[in-house]
Structure 1
Amino acid sequence: MHFIIALMGVYRAEIGLLILALMFVAFVRERYSPTVIAVVGACAFALLGLLNEKSLFSVFSNSAPLTVGAMFVLSGSLIRTGVINRVADLIMARAKIHPRLALAEVALGAAVLSAFLNNTPVVVLLIPIMFKLAQATGYPVKKLLIPMNTIAVLGGCLTLIGTSTNLIVAGIAADQGMASFGIFEITPYALAGAAAGIVALLCLSFLLPSDPPSISGETGGTVQDYLTELVVPHDSELIGREIGSLGLFGPSVVLLGLKRGSEIRRREILDEELRSGDRLIVRADGTAIMTLRESGGFDLGVAADSATSAREGKVIEAMVAPSHPSIGERLLDIPFLHALRVRIIGIHRSRHLPGPALAEARVRGADRLLIAGSDDAIRSLKDNPHLIGVDISRTRAFRRNKAWIAIVAMSAVVLLSALNIIGIGMAAFIAVGIILVTRCIDPEEAWAAIDGDVLILIFAMLAVGLALEQAGSVALMVGWITPLLKIVPVWSLVFVIYFFALILSELLSNNAVAALLTPITIALAQQLGVDPRPLIIALMIGASACFATPIGYQTNALVYAAGDYRFADFVRIGVPINIVVGLAVCGALVVLG
């Protein structure tokens, strides 16, 4: 036993490298998630005495993961208050007038939004927009999704807060004694990469496939539209107003017709003045329906008893079972509507909307219903054997009246940190406190917006990096690499670091690679007697700007699935873009850094 302990004491550095190699193999094999591998790796270092208890828990004092979490919440508040959705609606309105110009505006918007928000929700929001733009312009959607994703990823590299990877690297570098990075310090170099990447996209667009996706609908499978009706109450202030003046309609709420009495009109209705009892037949997504429900200007949907309000109680989602006795009957005649105080406020059917109006829609198996009702009514619906998956709707109304607070909070974080008035972490936490106390977002929604998997991965890899440093593994690796790098020009080091980080990130988690390579890069720079700052910037961008595989970056996987791409499609276009962007970034670092 004493011999083993002595042996471990002598070969601490080598044992650390062995654990790292095993972690690398596990990352590549993907039998477990990167977070599990990172946590197990940190535990292995702790069990073998290469990382003591105090050092293990010291990683939780690092500001980088906490700043990442705060930025997740701020991004969530912009979504919750409808800011991002409003931007999407404006894009679609522009696309109807100038569809081709809208493509350029979407590209610019994706880059700008991704520079200040987590780019995953940005890409999620833009996927259905790209499907609609493909229809409007005649371009194959597969020629639009990968470029949109590429620009969003490049946009995320433009600022320190654009990606969690940048914040992780900056946080570790600060712990290593480097001066804090400014929010726009990396922007000139990332701009060079973004410009080169966009030019490469334009020149290499012929490499993108043009066949239609075989698995996605017109929205890319990300949006559920419902048929609903807006009923004008007898005492409504809207009576006498022209329908076109309401300001309700756009991509999220599409006017389909006006039902007055038993007559349904589809054309030339925007100039009609509203009357008591009029029903506006609309197509809307779930969030828009919930927003209309809370606004109180209209009654929503249909009910057997007109006294039953859509604003009563809670809203549930339920699927009609194929065994339902009302299959083929009108929705208004479905039995529970007459037996319970409930109101059906929307119906969704895969691939097309039912009709001609909500009450007259014929029920089919697998139809999804949005139902508002009291707690007692909802309990009864949960016991209904002819309804499947009855549960409280997770869709929430936008809090548009709070949107200005969310915008000001995010803008203040950017401005205060850019002017070095306050650190990015402190600014983000103060902003989180403001949006919570002003109810831009509820606490449970704020915590749900945080990607806990990302945070645990960051903390675990910080522990692994610290263990490698304490065990002497970092010094050992630097000792091996330094003689090789001494014979190359100093300017070439940024190329070495950038493309090494890029290759690893195409295979492994970006954040794991960033956390692992940051202390090694700093130690290497110190050993060679060069400024580590350009090398760290190269690491930041190289670990994120990965386009050659669907697993190279998290948003790559989103468009891979939505566009029904093949793996080779990413390789064909991604490898040359990786090279072009990398050369541009490194060239800018050599010239300007």
Structure 2
Amino acid sequence: MLASILNLNTTLFNSSLFWTLTFLIIAVILFIRNKLRMDIVALLVILAFNLSGILTIQETFAGFSDPNIILIALLFIVGEGLVRTGIAYQVSEWLMKVAKNSEVKVLVLLMLSVAGLGAFMSSTGIVAIFIPVVLVICQQMNISPKRLMMPLSVAGLISGMMTLIATAPNLVVNAELIRETNVRLSFFSFTPIGILILILGIFYMLIARRWLSDSTTDEDSEENKHSIKDLIDEYHLQERTRSFIVHQGSDFINTPVGDLHLRTNYGLNILFIERWKRFRPIFLTSFLSKIEIKEKDILLVDVSDPELNLEEFCQQHNLEVVEIRQQNFTRTSKSMGMVEITPTPTSDYLGHSVSELKFRSKYRLNIIGIKRNNEILEGNIAEEPLKAGDLLLAVGDWKFIQEMRNKTYSFFVLDYPAEIERVSPAQSQAPHALLAIFIMVFLMVTGIVPNVVAALIACLMLAQFRCIDAKSAYSSIQWSSLILIIGMMPFSIALQKTGGVNLAIDYLLTIVGGWETHLLLMSLFVACAVVGLFISNTATAILMAPIAIEMANQLKVSPVPFAMVVAIAASAAFMTPISSPVNTMVLGLGGYKFSDFVKIGVPFTVLVMLVTVFVVPVLFPL
């Protein structure tokens, strides 16, 4: 053993391995100190390896051509498609409905869903799909993304332990077993231990999520920002609005809204029309004057004339008044919004009323409230001349609300309400987005094409179906996360090129060769976990599987438990944000530091190791 140690020291101080390890230690220290952004540290790593001559220019920048980097970028775009079509919000609403707004139930359902789906597709892919869902849930529950993003990544990594095809290391280990021993793992060989670790992970994250709380919450980001609920209360909309159901025989049916002259004759202003189509409601907000009213339509109407006899009006036109609730506004917030605007001091519109300006025809928005000197004006506000300092509450399609930004010569848009983050501009394309996702998952599961090609096909379909556009696609990519992964890849290449990985493995075998079986399995797990900090989990499996099988052969025991330990340890990349692309994807979105992953990941890795070392030999006898 002394000779091995001396050989190790000689190798370290007489090769570029010493500088590789030095760069690694410095990078880890910078990550922990958190003074520099992680992507900046990654770029410094690239620079150091190139200037030192340890790696060639091609090796240093190999990450920029790595298919996995392209895959992660494409999956960010797929996630944006889910947001823009409203699918992410529908999934989040379903989760919250089932969980009844309980954070504990949301966490459990989230981890079960991710691990279950990830058993049949790429863990990176499933995490990318659920990232926008988690962000929406955090907004709706007013909790920090820190509380759920880590459980998401943990569940994604555990999903790799569920089935044979769940992750590449499982397939690598199975192939090595077949080659060396002609023993084959079944599709569900991993499932019992995977389910056990998933249950352990759920209970662990229910406790560990409390360690991720900090003083920075969503309230800070939403500070000074109105919500639609605030605007409804502030402008007394519930007192002024009514909802009408159009019954059979009404003279409104098949008549365009503009031809009814409701505002002129009755002081009524239709804000939107709710119409059921294909078993789901759609909300018509744009170009209302040209829309023909249909039987069973629900009209949300602003009543500006308090003297109008609504009961007599409804009887005359065969309408039914139904109770108006705040949900009538908030459930339409994906398509219809509200915003406060104010005329500019030099606007030509001052002194003119909303009716005179034909505001709805020009801007496709309805003005349903005016605040002057902090008081809400009553009566027929459409005929009220505008004054400097007036605040106008505009209601309509988010598209036209956002276009008001360009009308600065006439109006200033005040702070947008928080619900603008839930806008689904391509909601009608949701079925096409689901088709693209289904095809991507099918191609990934069957392996007909590489995962990166499957994701590219999905992105092209999303673009063809107008679920995403170029601007939203490029802006959805978390470039800092990609740079972090790319910048850490030179360590993998350098450790293999300089012999660092093989040297560590040889040293391990020298030390633990005569240990008891469970200790051997534990040392094998630790070795895989440590090696996996610096190279991909697939590369870890490739390096460690032959060693594990050879250890079993020398001990004259079954190689299956040893191979299983390698596969599970390769997926147990919980300890740092650079251990797996899954962790890196949630790093920025969750607002985590390097130390957060260490604090949560190291104890859980130890728990997974103990469960694996003592349960695997029971399931697969030695």
Q: Which residue of 417, 432, 435 corresponds with 2:444?
A: 417
Q: CA deviation at 1:477?
A: 3.4
The one-letter amino acid paired with 1:462 is M
**Residues 1:237 and 1:74: Cα distance change in structure 2 (over 3 Å):** farther
Distance 1:65 1:378 in 2: 36
Corresponding residue of 1:404: 431
Q: Which residue of 515, 519, 522 corresponds with 2:535?
A: 515
Distance 1:358 1:183 in 2: 71
Deviations 1:209-244 (CA, angstroms, capped at 9, x unpaired): 9x9989655998799633589999961499999979
Distance 1:556 1:376 in 2: 33
Corresponding residue of 2:248: none
Q: Is the 8 A contact 2:429 2:467 kept in 1?
A: yes
Deviations 1:502-552 (CA, angstroms, capped at 9, x unpaired): 899xxxxxxx93636765675455556356674253232332799xxxxx8
Q: Which residue of 567, 574, 578 corresponds with 1:543?
A: 574
Distance 2:217 2:65 in 1: 45
Which 5+ residue runs of structure 2 have no aligned equivalent? 1-10, 119-125, 180-184, 245-251, 261-269, 284-297, 370-374, 552-561, 578-582
Distance 2:448 2:224 in 1: 40
Select between 468-477 and 514-523 the one with higher mean Cα deviation. 514-523
Normalised to the residue count of structure 1, the TM-score between the two structures is 0.62
Corresponding residue of 1:137: none
Q: Is the 8 A contact 2:63 2:69 kept in 1?
A: no
Q: Is the 8 A contact 1:160 1:183 kept in 2?
A: no
Distance 1:522 1:201 in 2: 30
Select between 69-78 and 240-249 the one with higher mean Cα deviation. 240-249
Secondary structure of the 2:54 match is coil
Secondary structure of the 1:515 match is coil
Distance 1:248 1:499 in 2: 54
Q: Please state if 1:67 is matched with 2:71.
A: yes
Q: Is the 8 A contact 2:46 2:490 kept in 1?
A: yes
**Residues 1:155 and 1:525: Cα distance change in structure 2 (over 3 Å):** closer
Q: Please state if 1:478 is matched with 2:489.
A: no
Normalised to the residue count of structure 2, the TM-score between the two structures is 0.59
Select between 43-52 and 337-346 the one with higher mean Cα deviation. 337-346
Corresponding residue of 2:293: none
Q: CA deviation at 1:455?
A: 1.8
Distance 1:492 1:479 in 2: 17
Corresponding residue of 1:77: 81
Matches within 5 A, 1:72-151: 72-93=76-97, 104=105, 107-109=108-110, 111-113=112-114, 115=118, 116-118=126-128, 119-131=130-142, 151=151
Output the aligned Cα RMSD. Answer: 6.4
Distance 1:152 1:274 in 2: 52
Q: Please state if 1:24 is matched with 2:17.
A: no
Distance 2:377 2:257 in 1: 25
Q: CA deviation at 1:51?
A: 0.6
Distance 1:445 1:407 in 2: 18
The one-letter amino acid paired with 1:28 is I
Q: CA deviation at 1:36?
A: 1.9
Which 5+ residue runs of structure 1 have no aligned equivalent? 1-6, 132-140, 293-299, 302-316, 349-353, 505-511, 547-551, 562-566
Distance 2:435 2:273 in 1: 34
Distance 1:173 1:56 in 2: 29
Q: Is the 8 A contact 1:157 1:541 kept in 2?
A: yes
Deviations 1:561-592 (CA, angstroms, capped at 9, x unpaired): 9xxxxx99x96x98876654554455555555
Corresponding residue of 1:313: none
Q: Is the 8 A contact 2:533 2:573 kept in 1?
A: no
Secondary structure of the 1:381 match is coil
**Residues 1:387 and 1:412: Cα distance change in structure 2 (over 3 Å):** closer
Distance 1:183 1:216 in 2: 43
Q: Is the 8 A contact 2:481 2:588 kept in 1?
A: no
Distance 2:55 2:355 in 1: 65
Corresponding residue of 1:445: 472
Corresponding residue of 2:557: none
Distance 1:396 1:243 in 2: 17
Corresponding residue of 2:155: 155
Q: Which residue of 197, 201, 204 corresponds with 2:201?
A: 197
Select between 459-468 and 536-545 the one with higher mean Cα deviation. 536-545
Distance 1:454 1:560 in 2: 12
Corresponding residue of 1:34: 38
Q: Is the 8 A contact 1:478 1:520 kept in 2?
A: no
Corresponding residue of 1:296: none
Corresponding residue of 1:235: 256
Distance 1:57 1:288 in 2: 47
**Residues 1:188 and 1:335: Cα distance change in structure 2 (over 3 Å):** farther
Q: Is the 8 A contact 2:85 2:467 kept in 1?
A: yes
Q: Rg larger in 1 or in 2?
A: 2
Corresponding residue of 1:54: 58
**Residues 1:338 and 1:345: Cα distance change in structure 2 (over 3 Å):** closer
Q: CA deviation at 1:48?
A: 1.6
Distance 1:498 1:332 in 2: 75
Matches within 5 A, 1:447-466: 447-466=474-493
Q: Which residue of 287, 291, 307 corresponds with 2:335?
A: 291
Matches within 5 A, 1:276-355: 288-289=332-333, 291-292=335-336, 341-342=362-363
Deviations 1:341-373 (CA, angstroms, capped at 9, x unpaired): 44556999xxxxx98999979989999998876
Distance 2:353 2:464 in 1: 42
Q: CA deviation at 1:466?
A: 0.5
The one-letter amino acid paired with 2:227 is D
Equivalences, count: 508
Corresponding residue of 1:310: none
Q: CA deviation at 1:154?
A: 3.7
**Residues 1:105 and 1:340: Cα distance change in structure 2 (over 3 Å):** closer
Matches within 5 A, 1:547-586: 579-584=606-611
**Residues 1:146 and 1:111: Cα distance change in structure 2 (over 3 Å):** farther
Secondary structure of the 1:409 match is helix
Q: Is the 8 A contact 1:81 1:406 kept in 2?
A: yes
Corresponding residue of 1:262: 305
Secondary structure of the 1:259 match is strand
State the percentage of identical aligned residues.
16
Matches within 5 A, 1:203-222: none
Corresponding residue of 1:225: 227
Q: Please state if 1:45 is matched with 2:89.
A: no
**Residues 1:92 and 1:341: Cα distance change in structure 2 (over 3 Å):** same
